[in-house]
Amino acid sequence: MIFGQKNEDLTGWLNSSTIFWQSRLHLKSIQMTKFRCKAALRPMYFCRDALLLDMDFLDRYRDIVPDFKAFRAIQSRPLFSSARINTLKINKDLLLERLCEEAVPYQIFDWYPLGLKMDVESPGKLVENLLGHIHIQEELSMVPPLVLGPMPGESILDLCASPGSKTTQISAMMENRGLVIANEPSLARIAALRSNCERLGAMNVAITRYDGRNFPRGSFDRVLVDAPCSAEGRERRGPGVIERSNCKRSLDLSVLQIGLLKNAIRLTKPGGVVVYSTCTYAPEENEMVVSAVLNELAIMNESDEAEESAKAHLERVMISGLQECPGISEWNGHDLGQEMSLSARYYPHMNDTGGFFVAKIIKS
Amino acid sequence: MSQRSSRVRNVFLPLDLAEVADLWHTRFGIRAEAFSGYRFFKKAKSIWAISDVELPRLSYEAMGMRIMNCKDRPWKPTTAALQVFGKYAARNLMHLDVDSARIFLEGKSQEVSEVVASQCEPGYVVVFYRGEVLGCGLYSHGLLVSQIPKERRLAGRGE
């Protein structure tokens, strides 16, 4: 064991780390070139295309992404602004009327009646946003709360809450009845979370500040784990994410993600729902995390070691109107189990969105 | 335990509904029924409101919404709280026209006519536009000072 890596992964890790350092050195020179390009060519998407090397990292997904060429091409196209109508403060018809009055061009999502695509330069400065009638939120970020399906009166835990887009969506779905515990370890990010909850009029949200892996106690109907991730799916929103990505970082993050998901399952009532989501394509942070946690639970059950061991299984994730790909059941020679195909991968070129991964786990 | 420890900082003391409702009734004429369905807590010099549910035993950073600041006298309602409860106000409220609403949302002060301020005594008031609450204003000597938080202000024209 070196640096906590298992022996079988060692060769792969050594290779990837060498590549990592080489690429870091290389990146520096690229960044300098890019800096000069940036000044000369705006918007920066032009120079991104000129430096295709940035995208080479995506090559590892060549075998799992259908229509890889389109997937790669769409990365350099910026995303439309999108927003969610906050039904806690205004009804949909009145809001649409207001947007028409202010001549804001919008289009309602095909798959979600409360989601809007907007063609505005800075949607955050719209008076509707300042008054909390809408919330600027990425299109696919509205999926996990819908998969979670909170009902009024239930108790919900959002383990990685900040900045509160999903938390407030859950609160709106519960019509402010019941309880949402929004957990966020960073004090600086709690400020943003609180500000959003208050602006949007979410009155049933209590904020805690624990490390999600050690969240102490509770028995929740539903738990959302929107885990910290390498955020490769955000490339269209903030270019440069993919060039910073590397396998080592994904593996590091997966340790944290496994800890979070294990604790989330522990905190759920029997029969409750855990939704695990990330905005990355890396299987190390997606299917491998879910599969590792479910396997561990299964082993614990067989040996009956722990008293609080529980069974859990996946349920199919499907949102009508959104085209998804099934989760992968094999990666780099690791068998992740057929069950993983029940989770959903959303790719940018299929729905003209960002990238996302969602898995729905039922504790039994 | 250090003074900064969250267990010392985050002490939410339960408050009686009647106590809070009474303050709002005196200033804004809001009836106690508007507050039923909520629980109230006091932390340091602020009062917080959260939907009436059983809360698990945890250390909390925030409970629902901060609705009142009692640091100074008189107490000040938060803009967020007025956007929830302000619609029930019966006095100390003013309705603005489109231009003054814009100035208000930009966070600037403005003079208001006596007609507009007919229902107001000096102090904090609920500001309406098109029948909807915009937020909290401070009214005195014919001047309305916007209390909209800085991050929620409209960018001014020509800026």
- For A73-82, what is each residue's pLDDT tens digit? 999 999 999 9
Domain-located, residue B157: no
Number of alpha carbons in the 13 Å side-chain half-sphere of residue A15: 5
Supply the range of the domain harboring residue B142: 91-152
Cβ of B6 within 8 Å of Cβ of A217? The answer is no
Residues of chain A that touch chain B, judged by Cβ-Cβ distance less than 8 Å: 89, 125, 127, 130-132, 155, 176-179, 181, 187, 190, 194-195, 197-199, 201-210, 216-218
SS3 state of residue A362: strand
pLDDT of A309 reads 61
Cβ of A218 within 8 Å of Cβ of B62? The answer is no
Cβ of B59 within 8 Å of Cβ of A209? The answer is yes
Min distance B73 CA to chain A CA atoms (Å): 23
Q: Does this model's pTM top 0.90?
A: no
Cα-Cα-Cα-Cα dihedral sign, residues A205, A206, A210, A212: negative
Tokens encoding A214: 């050690």
Domain-located, residue B144: yes
Based on the domain organization, do B66 and B99 belong to the same domain? no
Q: pLDDT tens digits for A186-212?
A: 999 999 999 999 999 999 999 999 999
In chain A, which residue's Cα lies nearest the Cα of B35? A203
Q: What interface predicted TM-score (ipTM) does this complex get?
A: 0.93
- The minimal CB distance from A198 to the residues B61, B80, B105 is found for B80
pLDDT of B10 reads 82
In chain B, which residue's Cα lies nearest the Cα of A190? B61
Q: Can A279 be counted among the known catalytic residues?
A: yes
Domains present along chain A, CATH in parentheses: 7-74 (no CATH), 81-136 (3.30.70.1170), 140-363 (3.40.50.150)
Interface test with A, best of B53, B67, B150, B151 (most A CBs within 10 A): B53
Based on the domain organization, do B70 and B128 belong to the same domain? no
Based on the domain organization, do B67 and B130 belong to the same domain? no
Cβ of A204 within 8 Å of Cβ of B64? The answer is yes
SS3 state of residue A59: helix
Domain-located, residue B158: no
Residue B88 has what DSSP assignment? Answer: G
Q: pLDDT tens digits for B74-118?
A: 999 999 999 999 999 999 999 999 999 999 999 999 999 999 999
What is the rounded average pLDDT of the residues A289-293? 96
